[in-house]
Amino acid sequence: MRGLSLIALFAGAVFIALSPIWVRVSEVGPTASAFWRVALAVPLLWVLFFSLKTNATKIPGTQRPLLLATGIAFAGDLAFWHWSIQHTSVANSTLLANLASIFVTLAAWVLWKQRPSGLFVAGLASALLGVALLVRASLGFSPTALLGDALGVVTAMFYAWYLLSVKGLRERGAATLQLMAVTTTITAMILLPVALVSGEMLMPQTQAGWLKLLGLAWISHAAGQGLIAYALAQLPAAFSAVGLLLQPVIAAGFAWLLLAEPLSALQCAGGAVVLFGIYLAHRGRASG
């Protein structure tokens, strides 16, 4: 069982690492691609939910505000990340989005007075140093790269909100697949009007354009998120977090291989420092 969970973890990381590639080559705008990412995944998730035997129970009406908050958080996460991908490098946008684990601990400190450990503070300092190096590298990437980096940090904040909301729902008995189906539906309903008023091209013009969106929805979102959710339920949290740090590394590799996106020495150094900081912060959170 442990071996299968490891395979699921790394396969999920690979599938999600493909998502910025789909976004970059999409025929529609960033907000529209965020909408299609969840809208095309909704039918698949509900079919899986009703066809597979799960221990899901009806989510009480008192949890609906938390479900709505989860959908809003995920909508913000996807929208800001897709815009970040368009303005900065895939490596930077993915690395900065992974700062979410640090924001989760900071939120716990502010909201619930859970004082972080010294190891977490060291990890935070390392991550901030890495971010500074990434921002310095962005100055030579494109005129809009700094905006993309800032959007990546905002993405991490929304993703931290999403993770905390999901944690609250899981603690109240919501099953993984049930939670994915409901929150993905809510997220699609939120992103549709945003995409419509954004003025972006909403519909792909070719069959290849639709296939790219299906890859984003079915491979990166449904399969990627589902495999990781399965693995996280089976593996120790600390090990799972280390494994998921491969995602930005794999994404950078895909961008180099498929998009010919260069990686400077300064960017590689900054990315390594960010990943090391996230690792230390997670260890500090787990031991604190």
Q: Is 206 exposed, middle or buried (0-12, 13-18, 19+ CB in 10 A)?
A: exposed
pLDDT tens per residue across all 288 residues of the chain: 667 877 888 888 899 999 999 999 999 999 999 999 999 999 998 988 888 766 666 666 677 888 899 999 999 999 999 999 999 989 889 888 888 878 877 887 777 777 778 888 888 888 888 888 887 877 776 778 889 999 999 999 999 898 888 878 877 777 778 888 899 999 999 999 999 999 899 999 999 999 999 999 999 998 988 787 777 667 665 555 566 677 888 898 999 999 998 888 888 898 888 888 888 877 766 555
What pLDDT is attached to residue 22? 95
Closest CA to 160 of 234, 73, 66: 73
The secondary structure of residue 115, as a DSSP letter, is P
pTM of the model: 0.86
Beta strands in 71-221 (DSSP E): none
Distance CA 157, CA 140 (A): 26
The secondary structure of residue 220, as a DSSP letter, is I
Dihedral of CA 244/106/274/258: which sign? Answer: positive
Closest CA to 130 of 104, 98, 164, 107: 98
pLDDT tens digit sequence for 193-242? 999 999 899 999 999 999 999 999 999 998 988 787 777 667 665 555 56
What pLDDT is attached to residue 235? 67
Closest CA to 162 of 101, 110, 250, 106: 101
- Total domains present in the chain: 1
Planar angle of CA 128, 130, 134, nearest 5 degrees: 115
What pLDDT is attached to residue 167? 78
**Residue ranges making up the domain that contains 29:** 2-287
Residues whose CB is less than 8 angstroms from the CB of residue 96 and which lie 6 or more positions away in sequence, other chains included: 84, 131, 134, 149, 152, 153, 155, 156, 274
For residues 99 and 132, is the Cβ–Cβ distance under 8 A? no
Give the 3-state secondary structure of residue 95: helix
Q: Report CA-CA distances (Å) from 73 to 76, 140, 187, 270.
A: 5, 32, 8, 27
The secondary structure of residue 59, as a DSSP letter, is P
Distance CA 270, CA 199 (A): 35
Distance CA 245, CA 250 (A): 9
